[in-house]
């Protein structure tokens, strides 16, 4: 009888984590390692094979017992799931990661964008369970996105679809890292919220403001923090209204540390923007919901990818 075990890997700029799971997505073992700083693709490959072998061995299994490996990586992944086209925070650009791993492990390997896989994981077992049409938005350092249309992850011609952080919400807005002006992430990323708070306080110190600190500020009704988060939420709301006209999703799924800490404030503002849209009044409702799987979303999405026939 063929085995039903899969390995999901989340390759991040700071850490590389892996999980062994069964076909239902039950996680059986885990491991993680820091991403070596300034590492070359070959060194990263070594770390990835290391965590994969570790989660398999922890359960007394061998590589031949594994049916497939799914891998989430940052950046643009080619639509065939073989190669990292470009990655900003890890030196894997142009690297044929799936093929190299297959050779080393003797297993079938599939690659996907980490945020896309996070959305896939949430659709399989989390906050968007069972939804066939949904849009995922993850405000963090930037604003990541993933779109599932009629049950299928939208990849685009070059694998660069659903980069929702670069939707332009105000052409007169601030310059974004991508070179355009007024992108969603120039307003609604945690970085943009931080910048707005430092500016309003007239602070020179541009140190990081943790999501927890933002949540505490909301609780004690700090005016500057509340205003910055309201502005970020309203721009998220506008973006969702436009995205709804493009994809007609059942729900918008929001995830990431900022949402875990401040979702109770952000999501109702987005929901109100969606409910106000007269176009959809007779068509049906669309909900703004929070993710449920946290850091496991990418790992389980990677397992979901590996499971596909
Ligand atoms: Zn941009």
Mean pLDDT of all residues belonging to the chain: 95
pTM of the predicted structure, to 2 decimals? 0.95
pLDDT score, position 289:
98
Q: What are phi and psi of 168, to 5 degrees?
A: -85, 120
For the chain, helix (H) and strand (E) counts, in that order, are 9, 12
Q: Buried b vs exposed e over 88-114: b needs ≥16 C-beta within 10 Å?
A: eebebeebbbbebbbebbebebbbbbb
The CATH T-level fold of domain 5-119 is Nucleotidyltransferase; domain 5 (3.30.420)
**Is the torsion defined by CA of 189, 257, 12, 22 positive or negative?**
negative
Distance from Cα 166 to the centre of ligand 1, integer Å = 4
pLDDT at 1 over 70: no
Distance from Cα 233 to the centre of ligand 1, integer Å = 17
C-alpha 240 chain-centroid distance: 16
* Cα 164-168-173 angle, rounded to 5 deg: 130
Binning pLDDT at 50, 70 and 90, where does residue 38 land?
confident
Over residues 269-305, the pLDDT tens digits come to 999 999 999 999 888 899 999 999 999 999 999 999 9
Q: What percent of the chain has pLDDT over 90?
A: 89
**Domain parsing of the chain, residue ranges:** 5-119, 129-290
Distance from Cα 228 to the centre of ligand 1, integer Å = 19
pLDDT score, position 37:
86
Binning pLDDT at 50, 70 and 90, where does residue 115 land?
very high
Mean pLDDT of 131-145: 95
Q: Enter the tokens of residue 206.
A: 């541009």
Q: Enter the tokens of residue 287.
A: 């909900």
Residue holding tokens 């799924």?
253
Asked if 21 and 8 touch (Cβ cutoff 8 Å), the reply is yes
Distance from Cα 59 to the centre of ligand 1, integer Å = 44
Mean pLDDT of 163-170: 94
Element (H, E) at 263: helix 257-276
**DSSP assignment letter at 175:** B
Distance from Cα 175 to the centre of ligand 1, integer Å = 8
pLDDT score, position 2:
59
Q: Enter the tokens of residue 302.
A: 């990677």
Asked if 308 and 271 touch (Cβ cutoff 8 Å), the reply is no
In CATH, what number does 129-290 get?
3.30.420.40
Distance from Cα 209 to the centre of ligand 1, integer Å = 22
Do domains 5-119 and 129-290 share one topology? The answer is: yes
Distance from Cα 104 to the centre of ligand 1, integer Å = 37
Distance from Cα 254 to the centre of ligand 1, integer Å = 19
Distance from Cα 235 to the centre of ligand 1, integer Å = 14
Distance in angstroms (rounded) separating the CA atoms of residues 290 and 274 = 15
pLDDT at 218 over 60: yes
């Amino acid at each position: 009888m063929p085995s039903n075990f899969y390995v999901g890997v989340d390759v991040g700029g700071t850490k590389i984590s892996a999980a062994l799971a069964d076909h239902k997505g039950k996680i059986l073992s885990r491991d993680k390692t820091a991403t070596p700083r300034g590492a070359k693709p070959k060194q990263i490959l070594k770390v990835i094979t290391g965590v994969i072998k570790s989660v398999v061995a922890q359960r007394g299994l061998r590589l031949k017992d594994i049916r497939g490996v799914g891998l989430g990586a940052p950046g643009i992944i080619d639509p065939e799931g073989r190669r990292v086209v470009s990655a900003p925070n890890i030196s894997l650009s142009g690297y044929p990661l799936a093929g190299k791993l297959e050779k080393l492990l003797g297993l079938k390997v599939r690659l996907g964008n980490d945020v896309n896989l996070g959305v896939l994981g949430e659709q399989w077992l989390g906050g968007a369970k069972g939804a066939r049409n949904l849009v995922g938005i993850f405000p963090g350092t930037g604003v990541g996105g993933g779109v599932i249309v009629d049950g299928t992850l939208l990849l685009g011609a070059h694998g660069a679809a659903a980069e929702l952080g670069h939707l332009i919400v105000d052409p007169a807005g601030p310059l974004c890292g991508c070179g355009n002006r007024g992108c969603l992430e120039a307003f609604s990323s945690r970085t943009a919220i931080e910048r707005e708070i430092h500016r309003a306080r007239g602070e020179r110190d541009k140190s990081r403001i943790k999501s927890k600190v933002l949540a505490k500020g909301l609780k004690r009704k700090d005016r500057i923090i509340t205003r910055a988060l309201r502005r970020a939420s309203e721009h998220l709301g506008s973006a969702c209204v436009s995205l709804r006209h493009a994809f007609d999703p059942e729900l918008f799924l929001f995830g990431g540390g900022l949402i875990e800490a401040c979702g109770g404030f952000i999501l109702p503002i987005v929901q109100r923007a969606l409910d106000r849209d007269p176009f959809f009044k007779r068509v049906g409702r669309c909900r703004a919901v929070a993710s449920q799987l946290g850091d496991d979303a990418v790992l389980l999405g990677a397992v979901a990818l590996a499971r596909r026939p």
